[in-house]
Structure 1
Amino acid sequence: MDVKGKVESELNKMDSEKKEDILQNFSRFKEYLSDKVSKGEKLGLSEEQMTKAAEFVASYLAKHEEPKNREQYVLQELWKVGDKEEQQALSSLLLKLVKAE
């Protein structure tokens, strides 16, 4: 199964209460993303693979979830107005953000 398939499977398995808990607070969202990045690194995923996974998650969230806070609202708006290249850059920046913490 490719990275996109694994991410999609993980998102589909997550119950709504857990998803709500993660999305409610931006710090919690970053912690969750940081944990997933750490696991991806341990599995040997490349930076490109993790960026693609982050892209898929961001696209999913932009289409299926309402922002729960100001930070998520800004990210969603940036995602919507960005083209493919800008969305890739935003995904890469999110990964750098959570790795730096």
Structure 2
Amino acid sequence: MINIVGRWRIKWMEMWDQDFVDLIEPGYFQFDKDGLGFFMFGAVEGEIDYRVTDDGARVEFSWSGNDDGRENSGRGWFQFQSAGSAKGKIFIHCGDESAVNIEFQA
């Protein structure tokens, strides 16, 4: 089982280039021990409520936050490739969706 707790750096997004992902600060997903977390990329930020699947190979989450100052929400998931990398997708409710690659930072 992969320990997902910690900060995961966004290394690539299908819909946005890395300059946008790192617009305000380096884009990331933060998973805390309590099943909650936070993410930020570009002008999008949100609080995460996540669940790890029983086999520990996947995490699924919902989120609420804002997109360039407008209240928004969505969902997403990551499939772990190894202890230090995952690929997944993030969905913005009634809006964009993007594939995402992340790497563990600490």
Judging by fraction of residues, say which structure has more strand: 2
TM-score of the two chains, using structure 2 as the length reference: 0.25
Larger proportion of helix: 1
Q: Which has the higher contact order (CA 8 A, sep 6+)?
A: 1
